Structure 1
Amino acid sequence: MVEGSASTATEPPPPRPSGPHGGGADPERRHRSRAGTAGSALVGAAVVAVLAGPWLERHFGLPAFGAWRTLLVAIVMQGVPFLVLGTIVSAAIGAFVPDRVFSRILPRNPVLAVPVAGAAGVVLPGCECASVPVAGSLMRRGVAPAAALTFLLAAPAVNPVVLVATAIAFPGKPEMVAARFGASLVTSVVMGWLWIRWGREEWLRLPTGPGHVRHALGVGRTEAFRRGLQHDFLQAGGFLVVGAMAAATFNVLVPPSVLEAFSGSPWLGVLVAAALAVLLSVCSEADAFVASSFTGFSPTARLAFMVVGPMVDMKLIALQSGAFGRAFAVRFCAGTFVVAVPCSVLVGSVLL
C-alpha cells in the first residue's frame, strides 16, 4: 500500500526522450491527451443531446426526452461551478504549493493524518465535484492516499455552505445539522482508516498528470497551472456528464409511487433513501432541500440521504473512475456506502 508521508515524497526525474530523434511524446503527455480528448467528446455529446432535444420532441413525439434533457442540464449546471472551483484549487496546489507545506500540516503517521484531513474538509466550500480533483492533486504532492481520500469524502459534506443550507432546509432543527456533520465526519475518518488497513496499491491509479508537469517539462508556474487546470477540467467534466446522464435517466424512468411504497418501513426507508442519494446525484449544496421534501421518510432516513449523497452518487462514481481508475471507484464507493448507512443510523438514533 502506498502510505508514505509527505516528508518522504520525492519529485520524479524528468522524462527521458523517446523516438528516433528523442522527441517522442512521453506517457504523461499521452495520458493528458487521451483524457482531454475523451472529456471533450463526452461534453460535446451532451451539448448535441441538449440542442437536439426540441427537434426530437417535435419529430418523434418524445416528451420524456424533454424531461431527461431538462434534468441533465440541471444536474450539470449544479456541478460545474464547483467543478471549476475544484480544478482551480487542484491546479494551484500542483503549481504553487511546495511539498513541504503538507509535511508541516499533516502528521507523518497516516493514522493521525486521517482525522486532520477530515477536519480540513471544513475549509473547501464546494460539492463532491470539487473534491475529486483536489484529492488527486494532494496525492500528487505526496499526501498519503488515506488522508487525501478522507478529505475527498469530508469536504463536500462538512463545509460551512452545506451546513448553512441544511439549517435553512430544516428550520428550528439544529440537531439535523449536528447529525449531518457528525455522521459525515465519522464516515470519512472511518473510510480513511479502513484504507490504511485494507487498501491496496494496485486498486488506486495514482494521478500522474499535470501534478509534476512544472518539474518534468521545465515550464513555469503559470504554465503549469494552465496545463493542470485544462487537464483536470476536461477529464472531470466528461465524467460529470456521464454521471448526470445516468441520474437523469433514473429520474425519468422510475415513478415516485415506487419509492413511496418503501418510505413507511424504518429500515427499508433508510436503505431506499440512501439508494436515492446515489441515483439522484443532487449537489451537496442542494440535497438538504430535497431531503426535507421527503416527508414520508423518517428523520434518520433523510439524514442517510444527506450523508450518502456527497460521498457516493452517480456523477461522483464516474469522476472517481476517471481520476483514480474503475477498480478503485467500485471498491471505494461500495465500501463508503456500507459505512455511511450504519453511521447515519447510529448518529441519527442518538441525535434525532
Structure 2
Amino acid sequence: MTAFSPLKALPLLLPAAFLIIPAVLWLPQHSELLDSAYLYTFKTGFIGILLEALPFVLAGSLLSSLIGVFVPDEAIARWIPRRVLPALLFACLLGVIVPICECGMIPLVRRLLRKGMPLHVGVAFILSGPILNPVVFAATLTAFRSHPSLAYARMGLAFAVAFLIGLILYVTVKKSPLRLSIPRGSGPEHQHGTRGGKFAAVFTHAADDFFEMGKFLIFGCMLTSLIQTFVVQSSLASIGARPLGSYLFMMGFAFILSLCSTSDAFVGAAFLHSFPAGSLLAFTVLGPMLDFKNALMLLSLFKTRFAFYLFFLIASIVFTGSILLSGWL
C-alpha cells in the first residue's frame, strides 16, 4: 500500500471550501433553503448531470488506458515531423488518435520529452490532446445539443490555442525548462508483469483513472447543482450580463472545479441560459488546459518561471479567442 501524500488532496480543498463555508456560515441562518423543494431540485440536477457525464468519463478512461498500455512512447516520438509547422500540426491532431485525458497526458508527455520530443511539440500535445479527441467531441455535442456550434467552436479554439502557444514557445524558449528529477517506473508499461498481463493492466489503469476523475466530477456536479438551486437566478443573470465578468467568472470556475474534459461540458451546459455562449466556450477550453490539479502537475514537470509563463499564455489566449468567437456563437 502506498503512503498517503498530502499533495493528492490539494485539488479537493478549493471545491470542498465552497461547500463547507456556506453550510457552516450561511445555511443555518436561511433554514428555508433546506425545504424539501430545494432539496428535490438539487437532487434532480445533481443526478441528471452526473448520469449524463459518467459514460463519457468511463469511455475516456478506457481509451486512455488502451493507448497507454499498447502504444509505446517511442512509436509516438518517431512520428513527429522535423519542421516546426508540420510538427505542431501533428501534435495538435495527435489527440484524435491518442484520446488521453488531461491527467494522463502530462505523465505521458513527460516521458516523451525525456526521450527527445521537442518542447513546443510536447506542450501543444498537452494542451490539445484532452480536447481534440472523438470522445470529448461527442460529449460536448451531447451536452450542447441545442447549441452544436459550441462543440465545433471548442474544437477550433482548442486547436488554435495549442498551435499558437507551441509556436510562441518555439520562438521564445531556447533552454530546457524541465525539472531534473523525473521518477522512473511510473508508467503503465512498467507494471504489466505484476498485473496479470496487458489486458489486466488496461482495466486496472482504466479503473484508476475513472475513480480518480470521478471525485472531481462529483464535486463539479455538486457545486453546479448548489449554485443552480440556491443562488438567485437574477444574481447569475447579472454576472452573465457583464461582458468581461461572465468570462472571468466561468474561467475561474473551470480552474477551481478541475473537471475532466469528457464531463465539463455537461456542467457548463447548466449555465447555458444564464451566461453568454462565449463565456461557456472559455469554460470548456480553459478547464482541460489549465485547472487546479493540472497547474500542480505542470509545476512538478516544469520550472516555476516557465510554468507561470505558460499559465499566462493559456489564460490570455483562451480569453481573447473566446471573445473573438462569441459573435459567431
Q: Provide the C-alpha distance between the structure 1 equivalents of 2:95 and 2:306, rounded to a whole number of angstroms.
A: 21
Matched residue count: 283
Q: How does 1:1-352 map to 2 (within 5 A)?
A: 39=5, 42=8, 86=64, 89-90=67-68, 97=72, 99=74, 101-102=75-76, 104-199=78-173, 201=175, 203-205=177-179, 207=182, 209-210=184-185, 256=231, 260-294=237-271, 295-349=273-327, 351-352=328-329
**245 and 142 in structure 1: CA distance in 2 versus 1, 3 angstrom threshold:** farther
Q: How far did 1:144 drift?
A: 1.0
Q: Which amino acid aligns with 2:265?
A: A
Q: How far did 1:113 drift?
A: 0.7
Q: How far did 1:242 drift?
A: 12
Is this contact kept in 1: 2:67–2:98, CA < 8 A? no
Is this contact kept in 2: 1:247–1:279, CA < 8 A? no
Q: Provide the C-alpha distance between the structure 1 equivalents of 2:308 and 2:219, rounded to a whole number of angstroms.
A: 16
Q: Provide the C-alpha distance between the structure 2 equivalents of 1:39 and 1:322, rounded to a whole number of angstroms.
A: 14
**209 and 109 in structure 1: CA distance in 2 versus 1, 3 angstrom threshold:** farther
Q: Provide the C-alpha distance between the structure 2 equivalents of 1:79 and 1:339, rounded to a whole number of angstroms.
A: 27
- The 3-state SS of whatever aligns with 1:309 is helix
Q: Provide the C-alpha distance between the structure 2 equivalents of 1:39 and 1:82, rounded to a whole number of angstroms.
A: 26
Q: Provide the C-alpha distance between the structure 2 equivalents of 1:170 and 1:241, rounded to a whole number of angstroms.
A: 21
**102 and 128 in structure 1: CA distance in 2 versus 1, 3 angstrom threshold:** closer
Q: How far did 1:269 drift?
A: 1.4
RMSD: 4.7
**Structure 1, unaligned stretches of length 5 or more?**
1-35, 51-56, 63-69
Q: How far did 1:297 drift?
A: 0.6
Q: Provide the C-alpha distance between the structure 2 equivalents of 1:168 and 1:315, rounded to a whole number of angstroms.
A: 26
Q: Provide the C-alpha distance between the structure 2 equivalents of 1:113 and 1:185, rounded to a whole number of angstroms.
A: 13
Q: Which amino acid aligns with 1:320?
A: L
Q: Which amino acid aligns with 1:335?
A: L
Is this contact kept in 2: 1:241–1:315, CA < 8 A? no
- The 3-state SS of whatever aligns with 1:335 is helix
TM-score norm. by structure 1 comes to: 0.62
Q: Provide the C-alpha distance between the structure 2 equivalents of 1:80 and 1:40, rounded to a whole number of angstroms.
A: 26
Q: Which amino acid aligns with 2:288?
A: P
Q: Provide the C-alpha distance between the structure 1 equivalents of 2:258 and 2:191, rounded to a whole number of angstroms.
A: 38
**178 and 103 in structure 1: CA distance in 2 versus 1, 3 angstrom threshold:** same
- The 3-state SS of whatever aligns with 2:288 is coil
**105 and 291 in structure 1: CA distance in 2 versus 1, 3 angstrom threshold:** same
**Structure 2, unaligned stretches of length 5 or more?**
17-22, 29-45
Q: Provide the C-alpha distance between the structure 1 equivalents of 2:225 and 2:146, rounded to a whole number of angstroms.
A: 33
Deviates more, 1:277-286 or 1:258-267: 258-267
Q: Which amino acid aligns with 2:257?
A: L
Q: Provide the C-alpha distance between the structure 2 equivalents of 1:117 and 1:320, rounded to a whole number of angstroms.
A: 18
**166 and 83 in structure 1: CA distance in 2 versus 1, 3 angstrom threshold:** closer
TM-score norm. by structure 2 comes to: 0.66
Deviates more, 1:184-193 or 1:163-172: 163-172
Is this contact kept in 1: 2:213–2:260, CA < 8 A? no
